Amino acid sequence: MSTKTTFKRIALVTVAAMGFGLLSVVPSTATSQQDSLTLGSATTTISVGSSTATNTITQAFLGVNSDTMSVTMSLTSAPATNTVMPALTVVRGSQQGQSEVSTDGLTGWLADTGSVTAYHKSTSRYNVTFAPTAPGTYVVTFTAYNMSSTTARTTVAPTATPVTWTVTIPAGTVADATSTIVTRATGVTTGSAATIVAAAGSSIAQVATIEVTPLIASVATTGSTIITATVTGAGTVGVGTAADTASTRLKTATYNGTAAGLGYVTLWGDGTTGSSSVAISINGLAVGTATATFTGAASTYSNTS
């Protein structure tokens, strides 16, 4: 082998080594920098009204000074009767990161505050609280996002896969067998009646009030009171907070309350005769049935000695 050939091979090895060295340079912040989203728990089961679902979401990314990444939280699935959203609060940021949360508690921002000349792993942890108002399954989705909270910051494009938190409230955990109903004729304020007997008449009139007291096995003073009344047979029903809640000629009526307490189901005539059965449930759990009879004029009569 000639001396000239040996020098050429040494030069090629040197160039190759320099090339591999160049590949190890930290990439630009124009692309995502090892971002991640981590949930404390993927699933939670609670009883509505007596507890609040809690979780944590940890966000991290590699960036330099003023780089920013966000996380958005959305309620992507819930029962139709729900009226509550989850909320984020900041637990802490990393030594190189500064965190904040939007005023509605649905978006968090994480800004890297480390040295401009070096990359840092910025980490923030947020608390998540959620107090739903109805039994069912709720899905909360967390997504990495590149919207900055100020125009002065440089956003980092995320690639982390969205993560979901499933909150379940089993049916029947809000009201139990100790929930009660008391049936009274219209205008009566004490006692109870096994059944109501009233003339059907030709006009709509209230004939009964059914007082509903929802209870929970462990907590008797709080909870959701979604009262549903369904009448089978003659009459219509109304549901609400007053003993004279008007009927809108409904065969099924629902009242969605947010705290334990009295609710009222009212029974109204509709001009027809016959028996009437009013089934009452709280959040899908049957708690009692009230009965009534609507009478009409006698079709025949006779005298008996």
Q: 38: domain CATH number?
A: 2.60.40
Q: 243: domain CATH number?
A: 2.60.40.10
Mean pLDDT for the stretch of residues 202-209: 84
In sequence order, the 6+-apart residues with CB closer than 8 A to the CB of 223 are 48, 49, 50, 174, 175, 214, 216, 259, 260
Local structure of 14: helix, strand or coil: helix
Beta-strand pair 252-256/226-233: antiparallel
Of the pLDDT bands very low, low, confident and very high (cuts 50, 70, 90), residue 177 is low
pLDDT reported for residue 234: 92
Query: 124, 149 in Cβ contact below 8 A?
Result: no
In a domain, 22, yes or no: no
Instruction: Look at residue 29 and tell me whether its pLDDT is greater than 70.
Output: no
**Phi then psi for 10, rounded to 5 degrees?**
-65, -40
Whether residue 32 is found in the same domain as residue 96: yes
- Report the b/e string of 171-193 with b at 16+ CB within 10 A: ebbbbbeebebbbbbbeeeeeee
Stretch among 81-85, 156-160, 257-261, 283-287 having the lowest mean pLDDT: 257-261
Of the pLDDT bands very low, low, confident and very high (cuts 50, 70, 90), residue 257 is low
- The mean predicted confidence, pLDDT, of the chain is 78
pTM flag (> 0.85): no
pLDDT reported for residue 152: 52
Whether residue 69 is found in the same domain as residue 93: yes
pLDDT reported for residue 169: 86
Whether residue 165 is found in the same domain as residue 215: no
Whether residue 36 is found in the same domain as residue 69: yes
Report the number of distinct structural domains present in the chain: 2
Query: 223, 173 in Cβ contact below 8 A?
Result: no
In a domain, 70, yes or no: yes
| Beta bridge pairs of residue 80 | none
Whether residue 161 is found in the same domain as residue 191: no
Percent of the chain with pLDDT over 90: 32
State which residues form the domain around 202.
180-295
Mean pLDDT for the stretch of residues 165-184: 77
Per the model's pLDDT, the better-predicted residue between 292 and 69 turns out to be: 292
In a domain, 245, yes or no: yes
In a domain, 4, yes or no: no
pLDDT reported for residue 282: 82
Instruction: Look at residue 19 and tell me whether its pLDDT is greater than 50.
Output: no
DSSP 250: B
In a domain, 270, yes or no: yes
In a domain, 12, yes or no: no
* Cα(214)–Cα(224) distance, integer angstroms: 9
Choose one of 169, 188, 206: the last residue of a domain: 169
Whether residue 161 is found in the same domain as residue 37: yes
Query: 237, 228 in Cβ contact below 8 A?
Result: no
Choose one of 134, 169, 204: the last residue of a domain: 169
In a domain, 18, yes or no: no
Whether residue 108 is found in the same domain as residue 188: no
* Sheet bearing 87-93, strands edge to edge: 36-39, 53-63, 120-130, 87-93
Whether residue 269 is found in the same domain as residue 218: yes
The H or E element containing residue 63 is strand 53-63
Of the pLDDT bands very low, low, confident and very high (cuts 50, 70, 90), residue 202 is low
| Beta bridge pairs of residue 223 | none
pLDDT per position as a tens digit, 274-302: 999 999 988 777 888 999 999 976 555 56
Whether residue 160 is found in the same domain as residue 31: yes
Of the pLDDT bands very low, low, confident and very high (cuts 50, 70, 90), residue 78 is very high
| Beta bridge pairs of residue 95 | none
Choose one of 138, 169, 200: the last residue of a domain: 169
Whether residue 78 is found in the same domain as residue 104: yes
In a domain, 142, yes or no: yes
Of the pLDDT bands very low, low, confident and very high (cuts 50, 70, 90), residue 49 is low
Alpha helices in the chain (DSSP H): 3-23
Place of tokens 């912040």: 29
Instruction: Look at residue 46 and tell me whether its pLDDT is greater than 60.
Output: yes
Local structure of 109: helix, strand or coil: strand
Whether residue 161 is found in the same domain as residue 31: yes
* Cα(225)–Cα(154) distance, integer angstroms: 48
Give the residue among 258, 265, 259 at the shortest CA–CA distance from 281.
Answer: 265
Whether residue 192 is found in the same domain as residue 289: yes
Of the pLDDT bands very low, low, confident and very high (cuts 50, 70, 90), residue 214 is confident
pLDDT per position as a tens digit, 123-146: 889 999 998 877 789 999 999 987
